[in-house]
Structure 1
Amino acid sequence: MICEQNANNFFTTRFLGFSVYISNTTRKEDGLLCFRDTNYTRRTIPNPQSILCRAYGRYVIYYNNRTHPPFPNGYSKDGANNELCEVEVFGCQNPGYYGLNCSSKCPLNCQGGHCDIVEGTCISCTKGYEGTRCAEHCSDNTYGMECKQICGNCINGEQCHPVNGSCLNGCDRGTYGIKCNLACPYGHFGCDCKEKCNINCGVTEKCDRETGECSGGCQAGWKGPRCDQRCTDGKFGLNCSQPCGFCTEKKQCHFINGICVEGCDSGYIGSLCVQNCINNTYGPNCSYNCGNCLYIYGEQCHHVTGRCPRGCSSGYTGDRCQKHVSNASLTVSEEPIIHTNILLYTFVGLFCVSILTNIILTIRNRRLQLKYKPNKQYNEISTCNTVVVHNNTAYDKVDKVENRAEYLECGEFNQASVYECVSSLD
């Protein structure tokens, strides 16, 4: 209460902007701000003034500031001074009660058992509770004082304990700890980090904290997101990308190094069974020798079947040229071939002789036609009967021509020859 209420009272300027705190110590900083003047003027400031403070404490602290702004309008500039004539404090004598005659008990979960002495609402709640009367547990993944703290990663998103935040049924994937707020350490994953990353991860024991999927792929011979599956389907090595060799009965090779554990299929050798048989061998374990094959340099029989690529050497037969042919069987077998060749050669020879004969006859006829030149001034020509030879020159003897205009000139020859004379032309 102000000692004197008057608009012109100078002492009212000392009240403007005052504050009231409730505290359990003499320090206002340890208490609760109950009231602060921000609107009063010298004319409107009430007297007496009643202030309701919904708080519990041992001390009621009246405070005013004149050391730094903000300052209220019309405030006194001669420093901070108090002009209080009387201060009265009313409340329930026994804490934890409220209402008329302080006969009603405060709600159970009110902080410190204190509540509003008029309405009975909790000033604040104990850990794990919320609401005006602190009757509800913390929810929506919150816990603690006034439910302001956030729960960790409880399994399946369950609500943590409303008071201490612990996860009652364990942690979700990738976390561990009482409150499930710690990430899995290196090499672990899963719920409560109980599972270990696979040693076959590309980066040893490094995987996703939640799923366990390996970081950086898998080591040679392994596959799958967690690198927990061996290479199959005829593959081996890094990323299961290399094909197995020709293992016996098409069995799977070793998933890491590709070795055919039970040996090679027919025609192949080596630990990986990718090398063909060599040194004129073939078959299972390259244990058979090739037959008597015809080869070009660097060839051999087929590494699997043993068949010869270009037939057999003389005196041998069969798919693999391993069967010796006797002289008798060789003569019998070659006889039809000899007869066939004779007939073929005979036919070709006769055909060539026929063509040559025709060519000679054609040439001869053309020469004869060129040698005989008829003269149209004569109507008759006699025949030649005899031949006279002088000095290696032959002449035809011509009979007497009887008033005939036609005649035939006999040709001159360099060598003595006898020719048949041509009859007279009509």
Structure 2
Amino acid sequence: MNFDRIYFYLAGIFQVLTYDDLSQHKSATQAPIYTGVSVPLYEASNALDRNPTTCMRTENIGPNSPDKIVWWKVDLGRIYRIYSVNILFKLYPGYEIRQRGRFAGFSLHVSTNDGSLQSSSLCYKDGPELPPLNFTAVCIQSGRYVTFYNERLDGVRYPEGYEFVNAFTELCEVVVEGCTKPGVYGNSCETPCPIHCKNNDCNIKNGTCYECDPGWKGTTCQITCGKGWYGENCSQPCEGSCRDNATCNHVTGQCDDGCEAGWTGSFCEKECANETFGFECTNNCSGNCLNDSPCNKRTGHCDRGCNPGYADTDCSRECSSGYFGTGCREKCSSHCINNTACNHVSGICPNGCGNGYMGTQCNSTCKGGFYGNNCSLPCSPNCKETCHHTDGLCSCKAGWIGSFCNKECLPGHFGVACRESCSGNCVNNTTCYHINGVCLSGCQNGYIGHQCNQSCKEGYYGRNCSRVCPPNCKTCRNTDGLCTCMEGWMGYDCSYGRCSIGSEYGLKHLLLIKRILSISSVKKKIIKPCQTHSIG
């Protein structure tokens, strides 16, 4: 064996080996296992001892062997970022072409789990040209298991130079190069991966990111998502309503400065619940929007208007005192008791109505014949028409006076406002009826008429003027029939003939008259007819 040549090849390996050696002294397995002499000299681990003079060997494969495939596998112990795999195949002096033919057609596979070919990814596949015995394949992958695989299958036509008979696999050294530290790249394994590479994982050679953290893009993940996008591969559109029309956070999709008024949720994608509005939905609606409609989630305004009794854009203000109803356009009645304001919603007077008014809004006057509180007091029956609805005052019927027409005229008076006087001729000097002046018990002698204000007609006297004056009376008094006799007649009733001087009859008659009547004026009248006569 030419150790100088081997050292040359090994030196060639170390001359380019600047990454970390991930496979040295790691665990290795192989198949088919070599069954010839000196078996311990050909164990699978020989390829990892960094001694190029000790090699692994398997049984041969090919047409004259029961085995058709061969594999060798190293377990790196954990997942690493791999840069390359370097293989030093056994060199026998003078048999380099044969050895390259045995080596030809191999493939390299990398796996992160169990190392089976089915779960592995192809790292390198040899082509028709014979490979050099000192071979390096750049294999930038992440993995724990690296598998060398070759085959010589029956019925397959292989390229020229491939060895078919006694195709032994002899790997003297397998060096898996990469970085032991995660999150670094470069041939010194000292340069940190760009900070936004997903899982802090980047291309071990040039530092480009395989994937970016959410919210980043570009080969080195240094570019934020475009406006309106976020998340994995910047593939998710911003959904919410961020404050001041800001775009969402390019990483999380959330609104860093909060939500626009009227929106809430982690992504500002939810409208405020009914009855709330504004930034972060912390404000409560007035609750007075028309027909219980929700207020504007952004402004709190009642876009459809206010319930009766409320005003302003957000319907938070009650109608001003004295107004009520929809839009506060209706004016309260001025007749609420004690001038209290009506209810701002319904216009109802909460404490009732002032005197003379009725109805829930106190806008109706009392019905005819009633007045006062709740229109509960009846007007005086002596009112000429109806009384005033507030205080019961009225114009009086004839015979009545006073503010409420509840006082009769004073005795001796009657009629409207008691302005008329009784006749004074009622029987027994009784007063007349205060309403119409009628003498209810009748008239004194000598008077007739309802009010006893008419004297008897000439020729009549006495009660109800029912008596006729004597025929010889010139005139008789209406009350008692006392006569003024015609000439030639004398006596109380002028029933005596003409007087003569010295007449006995005349003297007797005169004496009788004196005894009956004591009034001198009467005596004079009685004797007057005879005064022209002398009595002697």
Question: Higher strand fraction: Structure 1 or Structure 2?
Answer: 2
State the TM-score, normalizing by the size of structure 2: 0.37
